[in-house]
Structure 1
């Protein structure tokens, strides 16, 4: 009996990237692209309608990010496998993605055969992480344990992020202007080595520890 062809949902806001991935995946004759989406919202709808076996997500989308989308798709579609494609070696991307249930995280610099190998490995039950991302993650962990010291205001800001508050709500909570919140968040992201509020909020609660002057 011939092996069942596995279906894949492609999620990337660049049509040319989706076209290239589709050609690569279908050339293998082992997988078939069931659908394509350019936004997180469209991906949620298509996943529910098409029930693909695997979703290949871009880490950054016009209306969200691949990490948050991964968690949403996993919750709504039990059994769905997810691989995240990223162009960025953000230190805590691996930690955040795995926490949301990702089955693989690979860099966009990977070649075509590497992408197919990652898909095959995930279908065999393996978790695939690009070696370069493992190195970046390890460096981030070392830096986190060595250098990160949060003052009282930074710890409070991180706590408000984890509660899911918007910039406007954070400004009201802290009694400051919304522009000030944006500036403080940008500084916090740089210090944590993350790219957005989702990645910051998904860091371990123990990431920041008080400085001596805050004890």
Structure 2
């Protein structure tokens, strides 16, 4: 994929995940510092872990401070536009999260494939990029991470990553493969939100 287009997608995903963090912080009545922290870990947490695991250091937001500016400006804009987050429709937070999730999985797969050629590792890093920040966000908010609950979340990431890497394997262009993966992840996640789809949970007797 064209590097500049990938960069735009990355900044877009950063803003979307930051919004997700701000909305959750607002629901939990956090102060401005808490809002920024929750937005930041949501937006760059997964990518930071990915870069450290791949040895792509310094991590992306240290090399390029635009990510931090996007987070800060997104926090400011969201706080100004959303005065009473509790009155927002229930689906706003999960839909924002789904969009950011799909974009970040694609970013994670694309960046990993540029650094090495293992499809399996690319899928894993895509899932980590998409879910890592949300896991940190939910832990800080004292909630069970969405990826560990019965919701179809990580499965959507895995499916999108597989479609992305498989498309590349069969010679489909990087840009088209990226979009196919993003659409796959987003479609599955939105379907799960719309129809309340979930995975079976483990119940142990004793």
Higher relative helix content: 2
Band the TM-score falls in, shorter-chain normalisation: under 0.3
Higher relative strand content: 1
* Larger radius of gyration between Structure 1 and Structure 2: 1
Q: TM-score, normalised by structure 2?
A: 0.26
Q: TM-score, normalised by structure 1?
A: 0.26
